[in-house]
Structure 1
């Protein structure tokens, strides 16, 4: 037996039919000190090679004959290896003069997880031109496979398949037609240099029924996006009826794109959603505009405009634009899904810019801002809310020493030498009322304020001590007379505080496991004299939420306009048990409280505080094993011992696609709410067995979240759904209920069909489930070619 070695051009067969393939992860080895070499599992093995280095060809067969520079023939169990390429056949002929390789008999090409089989192959190796007859193909990255009439190689970067199919469903004994879903094309042309694929006469058949068709469909190969139609959107709810939208993606440039989605609603009419995105070297952002020119229900035009833009004028001068505005007060009820804000009844239009200056001793920031609001009020007086003030404009300067950030954010022991730290903020604001403000809101005006402090931090390896002097000074000029009849007023309020704490550790055990326990006591002394603020306007101050962290705040109000008088000590401690083996926190317990050294006159609820001890806040959390989590907070009134507020949460998750969580929330005199969320198998084979394969059976899963208001005795925002996983396709369906008033709800039907390896069709049920269910995991997360998506 003789063998020959050839120097040939690489064969790029790995990306064949990349319409359904992402870039696969590489397998790699990892070795650390004291640990043996371990291989990471991967669905394909990628090889990297310098483009200017051509690998040698290795030809192996039962019999090889060769005529010098003319013809080489291999017969019987032929194997040709060229870099990462493996070609197998019964016979192979290579014509040196024409540079033509011809293989026949059970031809098989495999590279990077792609396997192609056919009866015969002819290939001009140097030009990489030729064809593979009647090919069948399989891709390990997705588990997808298919066939074609012929596959033509049109050069190193181009190929075309005639009458091609693709599916991730298994082939039954009866053949291809028994697949649950299949993508059928008349021709499929792939241009890897341009990063584009074009399918002509494309049809998706599901259970033998065509559900999606396009005369010409383009798609990206790799990471480069391409213009073309996207899967349609379908939504059904009681306010708009049935909605169908067809998105079109426009790849304007590598750094700019747009999506247009014409849609029609059976109750309201036709409209369009649009999005434009850009990414420049110094500027980036998106513009979204949803437009319904003639809403048949409301009898007017409806729209939503969103701007999200950021940029840098220079290395130290940047700007931000974050704005959303809608056409009317009822938009949040009818089109909540089209809005991006987390507060659907209060929309912000925020434009700001900031310039930074860095010095050896600290930092200086100068900034300007315009902040407006759109309040979406309802006719019911009980459901109306007080709107925040607009800043038109806000101009200021902040100066702080280099180490001041760590002091403000929560000091930690460093062991460095003590030195003076400080900061000052000077700011001007013009306060106006937005559209939608209540009739009782009348005060507008201007404010100039200065906030400053000086501190002298001391610290050791496990402790800190920070004495600090602060100053809050403000001057006001109002458009309407104040309570004292004047239009101008000023006030200055000093504060002295001392913050002291420790972080102690010891080795111990918890439930028989080695652990490290910490004890973290903390003490804060605050002395702020009383200043009468009855006549001072309140533009931006609000009571702080009373919780485990705010107990140690020097001022019980946020903002500038209100400063609580205080002569008090805040104290508390936290202890944690941390497992030695994995470093996970298993148990945490804590308690904080305040003690007043004198009566407090300026309080969040407006009632003077004469009781010396404040409410006590208790904290507890536990993660005793991999399946159970629990955490809770409890606020007890120190006067009568009653519970003021509490939050209790419990979660059980014994494995993938199995999670149960429950929570209870109480705010005394305000709200009491129960919540239950879940994702759990209902019936059918175990999820691990449903990976696609001959004879596999589907499985049903339940998923949802229920919120119940015990105060109102009704369900509020909730979603209940079910998922069917066949192995190669997943059906999600359910009902989502959103409260839009005390007696109003919006009920939406969610329905989504995901063909594993292709894009999903229908409403975005996956996003609804993921946003509502703690610990929810997509059933297709390990199989979809597109991973997780919104």
Structure 2
């Protein structure tokens, strides 16, 4: 029968199992068997040892002999357990005085999920220090593996492999080499610092050297580390081939920086930089892109972006958002380096504010300076009006305690009615940026406005009623006389509204499923008298989009300068079908329409609205099963009998990495567009396990194509293909962007991702992720990092 021995690694043994070898007394038949556990923990509450005591060291084998307090030798399926350490071998000896274990013959070491195998091992057990000859290894932290001529354990978190290799690819039968592998004269693993350093390293892909380096470092998990990142390679028809090599500097846990020298074949050399920090009272990001001498443009090109938030003391906070570029064509030539979503309208915005709360409510004081850079270009037909700048904006808001909740649609169920309200007093100085087109009226001016409202919300368990009065008053001092010949002018507009709604519920069944159905009718009455406003400027007012949210607002304009006159009633209803058990919404249907009791004279185009009934708004959304999502919105004009605007979308996703979405968008007399986006397997199959691979791999297609039915041409589109070989992924893509009425820019992307290591090439992953609804990274379940290494 197998024998076992349990020795205390500290001053004394915690337990002794029955007899161990020919030299020891024989075991009794009723001997206690060793429990099959990886770790021997402390005993139960009654006989618990102090937590500082080391765990027991346990040896077992077919034959075990021991010299008390000196040495134990185990032979035949020998096994040593010590905390998280499990050591197996054909022959194993342990010297208690030196804490040294020696193992030969089929040696296997398991610790914290990592596994090492080889013919011979010497190991100081307690401090996990020793040497392994000709081992192979697997690291659970990374999913990577390799082999070495000699492996030195420095401690549990540090080890060095001499003549070692590393890869996340498994060894395939019949294959002479792995798909990719790092081989090095010396391979140092620092799991505490999340860093692997290969000295005298070569990265091979199917045996072909693709990246030799005297020193190569790589992350061992998803955390940050300093070092050179893989090269970034891209091509577009304006700049040619671009090659950049980023260096990432992990300065401190709260600070890092990235520098990327790059070369463009058509434009020249430059550098991109990013600095990020997260301090207790300040956080931000700085970006600077510099192209000192653009050979095509014959000038220096640059882009600057800053994002900053922080505290100034005494509860004052500040916020900075600023971006500026060197010239008007930057957004066409170097779009990758512009952060703003509106690439031709760049903002510089600095704000400070302070909030203070009392029992009755909140006070909010603020100041702001907002400037714009408009990238206009030379074509007069593509120029656009610039928004006004605020130089400065200073204001104070007072809100009652529950006012924000009321404004957000809070239903005060079970509460007694009470007066709630808010007051806003604000000063603005408006002017236009120097980059505004000459055709735009350049008159600026100053404005002081007062916004105030009071409401008395009331309601019950299934209804609400909110009467509300508002006042919008503004006084102007203009740089030039207005249409009435006056520089100083103003107006005040009162509004009364009554918002009333109900929520009804019932249990029902749909498609054999138990659901809760709601019916939510809502009425909004608004009465705003007409006040002439044609002589006033439009510094910050614009017409709101006509949709399910804006139709339930009293003013059809955003901003301060315009207040729509109204005597109207908005009536609508929404019905939802909700899964009673899981709470998710299965189906939603809604409709809403507005009735005008008199003509509306304040309109976006200054043409009075005489029709009594507005366009009818319809919406629907369905998630009838896990594979299908449908939603749509329709604006229907009953006078013409046709839709004015429509958005219809459908998405089908039957499985992982399988999604197709279709969208149709219509804006009558403006645009009509269809869009198809997808990620779908073409053929082949790749293993999804950690470090998995397949001889053939799998091909996927991914992309988004937009087609203008009005212009009969393709607009912004992305098309890509992905090959998943399990431990590496290849992405090839093309992106087409419109840069003018008859101008486009095409960019080609090629990226190879070595799973568990990094991506090589341009960041095709980010382009696919940003453009394709439902897109999933193929390697998301196998890589230590969940995001792209470098964006």
Tell me the residue number matched to 1:724.
723
Corresponding residue SS for 2:332: helix
Corresponding residue SS for 2:624: coil
Deviation at 1:628, TM superposition (A): 1.2
Deviation at 1:160, TM superposition (A): 1.1
Deviation at 1:137, TM superposition (A): 1.1
Instruction: Work out whether residues 141 and 221 of structure 2, in 8 Å CA contact, stay in contact via their aligned partners in 1.
Output: no
Deviation at 1:454, TM superposition (A): 0.6
Please list, as runs of the form range in 1=range in 2, the aligned pairs for 1:449-468 lying within 5 A after superposition.
449-468=449-468
Cα distance per residue 1:679-706 (max 9 Å; x no partner): 1111113x55787668642111111100
Tell me the residue number matched to 2:170.
170
Tell me the residue number matched to 1:700.
699
Taking the aligned partners of 2:776 and 2:53, their CA distance within structure 1 comes to 44
Deviation at 1:241, TM superposition (A): 0.5
Please list, as runs of the form range in 1=range in 2, the aligned pairs for 1:709-788 lying within 5 A after superposition.
709-788=708-787
Taking the aligned partners of 2:766 and 2:41, their CA distance within structure 1 comes to 37
Taking the aligned partners of 2:120 and 2:179, their CA distance within structure 1 comes to 30
Instruction: Work out whether residues 688 and 781 of structure 2, in 8 Å CA contact, stay in contact via their aligned partners in 1.
Output: no
Please list, as runs of the form range in 1=range in 2, the aligned pairs for 1:414-453 lying within 5 A after superposition.
414-439=413-438, 440-453=440-453
Taking the aligned partners of 2:603 and 2:194, their CA distance within structure 1 comes to 64
Deviation at 1:670, TM superposition (A): 0.6
Cα distance per residue 1:162-196 (max 9 Å; x no partner): 11111222213346x42111111211223455554
Tell me the residue number matched to 2:64.
64
Deviation at 1:340, TM superposition (A): 1.1
Cα distance per residue 1:95-131 (max 9 Å; x no partner): 2233321111111011232111010111233454320
Instruction: Work out whether residues 364 and 398 of structure 2, in 8 Å CA contact, stay in contact via their aligned partners in 1.
Output: yes
154-163 vs 355-364, which deviates more? Answer: 154-163
Tell me the residue number matched to 2:237.
238
Taking the aligned partners of 2:330 and 2:385, their CA distance within structure 1 comes to 19
Instruction: Work out whether residues 221 and 785 of structure 2, in 8 Å CA contact, stay in contact via their aligned partners in 1.
Output: no
Corresponding residue SS for 1:290: strand
Cα distance per residue 1:119-168 (max 9 Å; x no partner): 01112334543201111012456543210111112245432111111122
Taking the aligned partners of 1:746 and 1:667, their CA distance within structure 2 comes to 26
Corresponding residue SS for 1:382: helix
Deviation at 1:4, TM superposition (A): 3.2
Taking the aligned partners of 1:759 and 1:223, their CA distance within structure 2 comes to 11
Deviation at 1:6, TM superposition (A): 3.0
Tell me the residue number matched to 1:600.
600
Instruction: Work out whether residues 322 and 349 of structure 2, in 8 Å CA contact, stay in contact via their aligned partners in 1.
Output: yes
Please list, as runs of the form range in 1=range in 2, the aligned pairs for 1:9-158 lying within 5 A after superposition.
52-140=52-140, 143-158=143-158
Instruction: Work out whether residues 462 and 503 of structure 1, in 8 Å CA contact, stay in contact via their aligned partners in 2.
Output: yes
67-76 vs 276-285, which deviates more? Answer: 67-76
Taking the aligned partners of 1:632 and 1:46, their CA distance within structure 2 comes to 57
Taking the aligned partners of 1:173 and 1:469, their CA distance within structure 2 comes to 79
Taking the aligned partners of 1:763 and 1:223, their CA distance within structure 2 comes to 20
Tell me the residue number matched to 1:386.
385
Taking the aligned partners of 2:252 and 2:586, their CA distance within structure 1 comes to 51
Tell me the residue number matched to 2:321.
322
Taking the aligned partners of 1:719 and 1:116, their CA distance within structure 2 comes to 45
Taking the aligned partners of 2:96 and 2:779, their CA distance within structure 1 comes to 49
Corresponding residue SS for 2:159: strand
571-580 vs 467-476, which deviates more? Answer: 571-580
2:305 paired with 1:335: no
Please list, as runs of the form range in 1=range in 2, the aligned pairs for 1:277-356 lying within 5 A after superposition.
277-314=276-313, 316-356=315-355
Deviation at 1:226, TM superposition (A): 3.2
Instruction: Work out whether residues 224 and 254 of structure 1, in 8 Å CA contact, stay in contact via their aligned partners in 2.
Output: no
Taking the aligned partners of 1:774 and 1:694, their CA distance within structure 2 comes to 27
Tell me the residue number matched to 2:484.
484
Corresponding residue SS for 1:775: coil
Tell me the residue number matched to 2:205.
206
Taking the aligned partners of 1:147 and 1:595, their CA distance within structure 2 comes to 78
Corresponding residue SS for 2:405: helix
Taking the aligned partners of 1:628 and 1:47, their CA distance within structure 2 comes to 51
Deviation at 1:211, TM superposition (A): 1.5
Instruction: Work out whether residues 141 and 220 of structure 2, in 8 Å CA contact, stay in contact via their aligned partners in 1.
Output: no
Tell me the residue number matched to 2:517.
517
Deviation at 1:213, TM superposition (A): 2.5
Taking the aligned partners of 2:236 and 2:191, their CA distance within structure 1 comes to 43
Instruction: Work out whether residues 142 and 783 of structure 1, in 8 Å CA contact, stay in contact via their aligned partners in 2.
Output: no
Instruction: Work out whether residues 241 and 265 of structure 1, in 8 Å CA contact, stay in contact via their aligned partners in 2.
Output: yes
Taking the aligned partners of 2:416 and 2:281, their CA distance within structure 1 comes to 40
Instruction: Work out whether residues 219 and 757 of structure 2, in 8 Å CA contact, stay in contact via their aligned partners in 1.
Output: no
Please list, as runs of the form range in 1=range in 2, the aligned pairs for 1:452-601 lying within 5 A after superposition.
452-601=452-601
Instruction: Work out whether residues 350 and 370 of structure 2, in 8 Å CA contact, stay in contact via their aligned partners in 1.
Output: yes
Corresponding residue SS for 1:406: helix
Instruction: Work out whether residues 690 and 698 of structure 1, in 8 Å CA contact, stay in contact via their aligned partners in 2.
Output: no
- Counterparts in 2 of 1:184 and 1:727: CA distance versus 1, 3 Å: same
Instruction: Work out whether residues 647 and 666 of structure 2, in 8 Å CA contact, stay in contact via their aligned partners in 1.
Output: yes
Cα distance per residue 1:524-579 (max 9 Å; x no partner): 01110000011111100000000011111100000000000001111100011112
Instruction: Work out whether residues 332 and 339 of structure 1, in 8 Å CA contact, stay in contact via their aligned partners in 2.
Output: yes
Taking the aligned partners of 1:315 and 1:511, their CA distance within structure 2 comes to 59
Corresponding residue SS for 1:684: strand
Taking the aligned partners of 1:786 and 1:46, their CA distance within structure 2 comes to 30
Instruction: Work out whether residues 690 and 696 of structure 1, in 8 Å CA contact, stay in contact via their aligned partners in 2.
Output: no
Corresponding residue SS for 1:540: coil
324-333 vs 372-381, which deviates more? Answer: 372-381
- For structure 1, list consecutive stretches of 5 or more residues without a partner in the other structure: 10-44
Taking the aligned partners of 1:86 and 1:707, their CA distance within structure 2 comes to 58
Taking the aligned partners of 1:100 and 1:88, their CA distance within structure 2 comes to 15
Taking the aligned partners of 1:234 and 1:153, their CA distance within structure 2 comes to 38
Deviation at 1:490, TM superposition (A): 1.3
Corresponding residue SS for 2:766: helix
Taking the aligned partners of 1:188 and 1:162, their CA distance within structure 2 comes to 6
Corresponding residue SS for 2:313: coil
Deviation at 1:777, TM superposition (A): 1.1
Instruction: Work out whether residues 319 and 352 of structure 2, in 8 Å CA contact, stay in contact via their aligned partners in 1.
Output: yes
Taking the aligned partners of 1:48 and 1:764, their CA distance within structure 2 comes to 48
Tell me the residue number matched to 2:273.
274
Taking the aligned partners of 1:318 and 1:755, their CA distance within structure 2 comes to 43
Taking the aligned partners of 2:390 and 2:714, their CA distance within structure 1 comes to 38
Deviation at 1:444, TM superposition (A): 0.3
526-535 vs 78-87, which deviates more? Answer: 78-87
Taking the aligned partners of 2:355 and 2:406, their CA distance within structure 1 comes to 20
Tell me the residue number matched to 1:641.
641
Taking the aligned partners of 2:204 and 2:527, their CA distance within structure 1 comes to 74
- Counterparts in 2 of 1:62 and 1:293: CA distance versus 1, 3 Å: same
- Counterparts in 2 of 1:48 and 1:753: CA distance versus 1, 3 Å: farther
Instruction: Work out whether residues 80 and 86 of structure 1, in 8 Å CA contact, stay in contact via their aligned partners in 2.
Output: yes
499-508 vs 372-381, which deviates more? Answer: 372-381
Deviation at 1:94, TM superposition (A): 1.5
Taking the aligned partners of 1:156 and 1:692, their CA distance within structure 2 comes to 23
Deviation at 1:385, TM superposition (A): 1.1
Instruction: Work out whether residues 234 and 243 of structure 2, in 8 Å CA contact, stay in contact via their aligned partners in 1.
Output: yes
Corresponding residue SS for 1:410: coil
Deviation at 1:55, TM superposition (A): 1.5
- For structure 2, list consecutive stretches of 5 or more residues without a partner in the other structure: 11-37, 43-49
- Counterparts in 2 of 1:72 and 1:308: CA distance versus 1, 3 Å: same
Cα distance per residue 1:37-88 (max 9 Å; x no partner): xxxxxxxx99999983421112111111111222211111111111122110
